Structures are given as C-alpha cells and as structure tokens.
Amino acid sequence: MERQYIIDEMTLKDTWRLFHILAEFVEGFENLADIQPAVSIFGSARCERCDPLYDKALKLAKVLGKHGFNIITGGGGGVMEAANRGAKEAGVKSVGINIELPFEQKPNPYANIKLSFKYFFIRKVMFIKYAMAFIIMPGGFGTLDECFEAITLVQTKKVKPFPVILVDSSYWKGLIDWLNETVLKQGRISPEDMAILKVMDDPEEITDYIKRFVIL
C-alpha cells in the first residue's frame, strides 16, 4: 500500500507539472507574440560593468536596436544586462527571459519585458522561436549550451537556417580550431555544418550580416 501511495503521489505531481509547463508556454507565447524582428544575445553573467566585454555587448545591442531589432537575453547580469541596457537605450523592446535557479540569476533592471521560467527547455523554445539570429558572446557552460542547441537544430533541419554568430574571434579561436582540426577531420561533422557558425567582431558588420537574412 505504501509503495502504491508513493507511485500515485508521483503521478499526481507529474500531472500538475504538466499544467505548470503548459502555463509557462502560454505565458511566453502571449508576451512575445509581437516581438519580432528580434535577436537573441547570449554571454557570461560573470562580467562586471568595468569589463570591456560589457561595453562590447552594450554597443552591439545599441547598433542592432538602431536598425530596428528588438533584443532578447537571458535576463540576468553581465553580458545579458549590457545587451538589455543597449536595447533600452536604443528605444527598442528589451526582453529578459529569466530562469529560476537555487542561486543568483537576479533579473537585471534594463529589460522592459520580463519573463521568468522554471524549466530550461521552455526558455530555450522562446529564444529559438522568436529570434531571427543568435549572437553568442564570450561565456561559460550556459552560453555554450545555447550555441550548440542552435547549431544542432539548424544542422538537423528542425528549424529554418538562421545566423549563429560568435562574437570575439580571439575568445572563440580555440573552439573553432578544435572543431575544424578534430571534430571535422574525424568526420563527426560535415564542412557545411561548420558553415552554420560565423565568427565576427564589428557591430555594424554583424548587423549587416543579420539583415541579409531578414526583411524588416
């Protein structure tokens, strides 16, 4: 009887979890329905305002905003804060899609559209569904996760091809070299897979590249 009670309780919890998941999808869809054209910007939360990376993200978001792109970030600090700030200063929509974590990840004050999700996979759907390009700035595991999620979806044709741009060539050089010299050489990926990624540094050049894919 005790075992059956535990199973029933777990089933009940799973059922309510499904309702929570559905509610998060509905909230995201309703709040982001008119956000396009938008670009998602990813990067480290461990980036102080005095860091050159912060300034780079701020300037890039401003340039994109001046060309009519709304900005979507993970809603936290560091690069995400800088990008939301740049969008706000450019007068476009500044979206922060936060994640509920047992530590840190406080929403930054520059997002004028704020969402908060419990589940990472729902958050990822919002990044992919509403962004016309992904900009990957220097970051850690979370940033790499978003990057490889995007290129895998493009590679497997689960989504239409869209720009996935690595910003800061010096930071990403080691990764690109490893992909070319190890992963590609061993036949784990194809040359056309490597073409999904674009490494760029200049904000205007990045914006022009994205605009070639998008009709504003």
Backbone angles phi, psi at 75, to 5 degrees: 80, 0
In the chain, the amino acid numbered 48 is: E
SS3 label, residue 109: coil
Distance CA 53, CA 22 (A): 36
More confidently predicted of 40 and 120: 40
Backbone angles phi, psi at 42, to 5 degrees: -120, 155
pLDDT surpasses 50 at 4: no
Distance CA 11, CA 143 (A): 34
Confidence of residue 2 (pLDDT cuts 50, 70, 90): very low
| Mean per-residue pLDDT over the chain, rounded | 89
Task: Using CA atoms of 119, 146, 98, 133 in order, give the dihedral in degrees to the nearest 10.
Answer: -120
Distance CA 31, CA 6 (A): 37
Dump pLDDT digits (tens) for 51-85.
999 999 999 999 999 999 999 999 999 999 999 99
Distance CA 83, CA 40 (A): 9
Q: Which of 6-10, 54-58, 100-104, 155-159 has the highest mean pLDDT?
A: 54-58
Architecture of domain 35-211: 3-Layer(aba) Sandwich (3.40)
Rounded to two decimals, the pTM is 0.87
Average pLDDT of the residues in 6-14: 52
Dump pLDDT digits (tens) for 167-199.
999 999 999 999 999 999 999 999 999 999 999
pLDDT surpasses 50 at 49: yes
More confidently predicted of 163 and 2: 163
Confidence of residue 105 (pLDDT cuts 50, 70, 90): low
- Counting other chains too, the contacts that 27-34 makes at CB distance below 8 Å and 24 or more residues apart are 27/115, 28/97, 28/115, 28/117, 28/122, 28/125, 28/126, 31/113, 31/115, 32/95, 32/113, 32/115, 32/126, 32/129, 32/130
